[in-house]
């Protein structure tokens, strides 16, 4: 039985032999052999061992799947909107959007399927129904398509930037402006497979932000994205010297995060606005802050008030 493996986000852009070696857990030489013999191939296009892995690639491999542990279910993941076409969940931190190499925790897709939610089969294997994603360490609203009609239309809306995605983020320091736009290309960082950075050779990325509340040591902002690059909000705010509180990967102060009891970046997908794929009605879904973000925000607010009163 053939095995189908969608390209993992962390390996997109890498040489095919290197990517395949990481995906299969074999040596690079063995991965090259699989490619040369045709035991491993990309659906829809011819590749060599030096071809770059693309984000749309699905690799077919002529070996049975290795034994897999049962994926846990995200029991505490609320469904905040659902009809015959779409389901919007309030994704908790620690839940991935979909299965990927090396991830053994719960996923949005797997948890919905195990709850008996019918999901369209459109999309890459293991990512069916998914038209946008959130990082494991980011909480908030995520939309998954149940019908083929919804998948086609919502994919179009996301790709054409018609969906309004509003995030709330707590960034370090006091932003000078009340509102601004960060427009800087983002690409993979050379120092790590998992980090991204502002680079002239990256893909165009545009982030708009408005200040909601100032605390001196940190600023609460509302963020809207024109583009959807991996780690876009985290990379852009780090690039202007204001990393997200708790985001150690992109330069956040670990002492501040520790004092606030925060063990992930302070980032929440707060609101989704879109035109319903079937009814065409403009639809808005809103999420509340989860307990860890709310607790740390209240502490920052209390510290700010105490300092002002001193």
Q: Which residue matches tokens 């897999």? A: 68
Query: For 235-262, b where at least 16 C-beta lie within 10 A, e where not — what string?
Result: bbbbbbebbbbbbebbebbeebbeebeb
Return the bridge partners of 210, or none: 179, 222
* Active-site residue, selected from the candidate residues 90, 135, 247, 292: 135
Return the bridge partners of 286, or none: 271
User: Is-catalytic flag, 135?
Assistant: yes
**Residue 80 · residue 88 · CB < 8 Å:** yes
Structure token pair of residue 53: 């892995």
Cite the active site residues. 135
């Amino acid at each position: 039985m053939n095995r189908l493996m969608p390209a993992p986000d962390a390996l997109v852009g890498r040489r095919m032999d290197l990517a395949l070696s990481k995906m299969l857990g074999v040596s690079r030489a063995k991965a090259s052999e699989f490619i040369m013999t045709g035991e491993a191939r990309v659906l829809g296009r011819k590749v060599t061992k030096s071809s770059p892995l693309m984000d749309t690639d699905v690799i077919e491999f002529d070996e049975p799947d290795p034994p897999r542990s049962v994926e846990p279910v995200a029991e505490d993941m609320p469904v905040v909107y659902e009809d015959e076409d779409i389901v919007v969940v309030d994704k908790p931190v620690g839940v991935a959007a979909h299965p990927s190499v090396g991830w053994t925790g719960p996923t949005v897709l797997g948890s919905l399927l195990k709850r008996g939610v019918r999901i369209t089969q459109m999309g890459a294997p293991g990512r069916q129904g998914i038209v946008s994603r959130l990082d494991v360490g980011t909480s908030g609203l995520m939309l998954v398509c149940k019908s083929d009609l919804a998948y086609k239309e919502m994919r179009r809306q996301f790709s054409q930037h018609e969906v309004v995605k509003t995030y709330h983020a707590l960034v370090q320091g006091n932003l000078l402006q009340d509102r601004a736009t960060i427009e800087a290309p983002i690409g993979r960082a050379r120092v790590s497979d998992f980090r991204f950075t502002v680079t002239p050779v990256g893909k165009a990325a545009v982030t708009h932000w408005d200040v909601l509340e100032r605390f001196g040591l940190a600023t609460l902002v509302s963020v809207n994205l024109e583009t959807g690059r991996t780690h876009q909000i985290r990379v852009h705010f780090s690039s202007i010297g204001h990393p997200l509180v708790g985001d150690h990967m992109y330069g956040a102060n670990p002492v501040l995060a520790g004092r606030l009891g925060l063990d992930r970046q302070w980032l929440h997908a707060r609101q989704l606005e879109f035109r319903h794929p079937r009814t065409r009605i403009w639809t808005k879904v809103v999420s509340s802050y989860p307990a860890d973000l709310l607790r740390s925000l209240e502490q920052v607010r209390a510290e700010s008030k105490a300092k002002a009163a001193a």
